[in-house]
Amino acid sequence: MRMVACDLDGTIVRADGTVSRRTKEALTACEKQGVEVVFVTGRPPRWVAPIASLTGNRGVALCGNGAAVLDLSTGVVTESHPLSIIDLLDAVARLRVRLPGAVFAIETMTGYRREPAFLPGHAEGAGEEIQVGALADLLIDMPPVLKVLVKLAAPYDRMRADDMLAAARAAVAGLAEAVHSNPDGGMLELSAVGVTKSAALSRLARKLGVSPRDVVAFGDMPNDVDMLEWAGDGYAMEGGHRDAIRAAGQTAPPCEEDGVAQVLERLLFPAKAKAKAKKAPATRPVGPPPAQRLDLSDAAPTAAGPVTVLRPDQTFSR
């Protein structure tokens, strides 16, 4: 293992917006052993810095599903792959036909811009550049667009994200890459053709002289599928999307149970993990349903408690 490629929301960032102490320590242990830790996320660059400052990671983050490379030590975007405005407008026109009620927002390098009917799933503000208006007006200054966000306005907003994704991929083939990062969020994300998590990770790995077989990747949603397939050792989070689980071929325990940390501890310290496994019961103890056990587990005291991540609502992007 020479590189750990890790999704954020639902993988190491919990539903309550925290990163556990155990997960932070596992990532730090990787770096101490010379293993490159790379955050690979759908979040725009401005939403990654708070996590990096709390986990202590100072390497590289691949943001916007691979559309931007963020140097965590400086906060500077060193590489970007925006959508062309022509392809963006063509893709939007096709989606308005294929998905009645489709409304749009765009992620730029400095903030986001949305049509009036696009209702954000997070609190606006906090220093973000926000513009609201007709799409043509939002593009008049030709901003570099990292992602296009797609939702359905009422009364069409009951369509499942998986169904939206299937329709969108057929509509925008050759113009954009379409993914989603939350089956219950009702939102799609479009990037430039060829812009994916695996493509960005592959470029970074080549630059660092790391083979795919030496990469361990973690993810939980359709936007992680290509990364989990590309990595030599991919883990989907237990309870994640079925496509991610199928792509990885193996699972890590849930995010709420520090699944990433559990796997990394086993890979970094195999002797200790083996000894611990011998002492552990062969099966899970009989008790309340998993969700209740999680609550009880989270309530147990730790050395310093969870690391809080200040972030917008998870439904906006993972």
Phi-psi region of 159 (alpha: psi -120 to 50; beta: other; left: phi over 0): beta
Confidence of residue 151 (pLDDT cuts 50, 70, 90): very high
Query: How does residue 273 score in pLDDT terms, banded at 50, 70 and 90?
Result: low
pLDDT for 156 equals 93
- pLDDT tens by residue, 182-227: 998 899 999 999 999 999 999 999 999 999 999 999 999 999 999 9
Distance CA 106, CA 249 (A): 34
> Which pLDDT score, from 0 to 100, does residue 49 have?
84
CATH number for domain 85-192, candidates 1.10.3720.10, 3.40.640.10, 3.30.1240.10, 3.65.10.10: 3.30.1240.10
Q: Where are the domains of the chain?
A: 3-79+197-316, 85-192
Query: Nearest to residue 99, comparing CAs of 5, 170, 205, 191?
Result: 170
Going by C-beta distance under 8 Å and a sequence separation of 6 or more, which residues neighbour residue 221? 7, 10, 180, 181, 182, 183, 240, 241, 244, 318
Q: How confident is the model at residue 158 (pLDDT cuts 50, 70, 90)?
A: very high
CATH 3.40.50.1000 correct for 3-79+197-316? yes
What mean pLDDT value characterizes the chain? Answer: 87
Q: Going by C-beta distance under 8 Å and a sequence separation of 6 or more, which residues neighbour residue 127?
A: none
Going from the C-alpha of 210 to that of each of 26, 30, 189, 268, the distances in angstroms are: 20, 15, 29, 18
Would you place residue 317 in the very low, low, confident or very high pLDDT band (cuts 50, 70, 90)? Answer: low
Q: How confident is the model at residue 312 (pLDDT cuts 50, 70, 90)?
A: very low
At residue 270 the predicted structure's pLDDT band, cuts being 50, 70 and 90, is confident
Question: What's residue 263's pLDDT?
Answer: 98
Q: For 123, how many CA atoms within 13 A lie in the half-sphere containing its CB?
A: 6
For residue 216, give every residue at least 6 positions away whose Cβ sits within 8 Å of its Cβ, in sequence order, or none.
1, 3, 4, 5, 231, 232, 233, 234, 235, 263, 264, 267
* β-pairing verdict for 129-132 and 111-114: parallel
Q: Indicate if 85-192 has the same CATH topology as 3-79+197-316.
A: no
pLDDT in tens, 17-73: 889 999 999 999 999 999 999 999 999 999 998 888 878 888 999 999 999 999 999
Please give the model's pTM, rounded to 2 decimal places: 0.84
pLDDT of residue 123: 54
